[in-house]
Structure 1
Amino acid sequence: MVNRAEVREKIVETAARLLHERGAAAVTIRGVAQAAGLQPPALYRFFEDKDALLDAVAEHVFTTYVAEKSLDAASADPVADLRAGWAAHIGFGLANAALFGLLVAPGRVSPAAEAGLAVLRARIHRLARTGRLAVPESRAAGMVHAAGTGTVLTLLATPPESRDPGFADAMFEAVARQILTGPPAAAPDGTPAALPAPPTLTEAERALLAEWQNRPAPTG
């Protein structure tokens, strides 16, 4: 007896491979059926059309990614965890260009994408609990999510050989300076980030802080 769950899983995994290797245009009912060793009518027993199949593929791949991300052990530094999550998000988007485009399509409601946002909100909440947030949690999560999505789309729109290797890190630092009350985690090269001024400082206090930050270390 044919196991429907196994057949469906085979179809989705085959479509996911085609999507990754050849892009969304390659994921047709006929093409996926042929690659899976099935007749095209068999796919219609599981999916209404190509869009439904693509939705299932997006959920399959992204759910696996979110599950792995949610299992990452938290470190002692919540900012470092946020940076690690950012890097993972950028890496996933660049490695799954066609799928990423489906996930961020306007109007799309994805349970897997919502699960990913839940992981981000948990990391933002941890920052808030340690007194590191300068803005409300909802704003911080929205800014990180929007900046991360925009960063991936910008990099995907740029030929690989022309991409700025420091662009993603620079975007993280820009957002971190807006949402954090203390210095963001050091960049991958070990360079410490500048201390952003807390939003409650007066102009005179900000000037004093800037002078203190830029003052050379004493010698001797």
Structure 2
Amino acid sequence: MGVRPISPESLVDELVQRIVELPRDVPARVIVDGAPAARPEVYADALAEPLRVLGRPVIRVSAWDFLRPASLRLEYGRTDPDAFYDDWLDVKAISREVFNGSGQVLPRLWDSVADRAFRVPYQEVRPGGVVVLDGTLLLGRGLAAELSVHLWMSSAALERHTAGEERWRLPAYERYEREVGPVRAADVAVKVDDLRHPALLE
């Protein structure tokens, strides 16, 4: 596997180009996946404005707004890595409400802090539009996407950059590497051991 250093700005440009080349007859669904330390939301946000300038309106969605209720998510406690891997994300809700292909997208479902529904209206995404979903542990779950991006960190970098209160999640990312192999599963894989100096894995 080759490694091609690239600036964050050029990476965004390349991803935007990949997206605008997707068919315009249906809304494009894009996943930006990575551990929180890799900041997938930063790249997902960065895609929005250049896509809009090119006539591809964007709806931004965060998987963190599609967690399951606390009674299900925390059944085995707040720091169980297997529960984090298997039980936190409401994959069915994302498929049903975000990646449904109907042109109607619910941008937020569940407020995990207040543990209640957001009660926000659906947004319309027309053909040519783009739905960009960021989050963690998203690949290998059957989510239908026209483009998937994985921000990969080596185990040493991930451990180094993960905040102390989140280190209990590290075994979940080790399991993700073993069971899914996100670098292979993604359409685009980017090494981000140093967030300032990404590199495309080709």
Q: TM-score, normalised by structure 2?
A: 0.24
Structure with the higher fraction of residues in strand conformation: 2
Larger Rg, first or second structure (1 or 2)? 1
Q: TM-score, with normalisation over the residues of structure 1?
A: 0.23
Higher normalized helix content (fraction of residues): 1
Structure of higher RCO (CA pairs closer than 8 Å, 6+ residues apart): 2
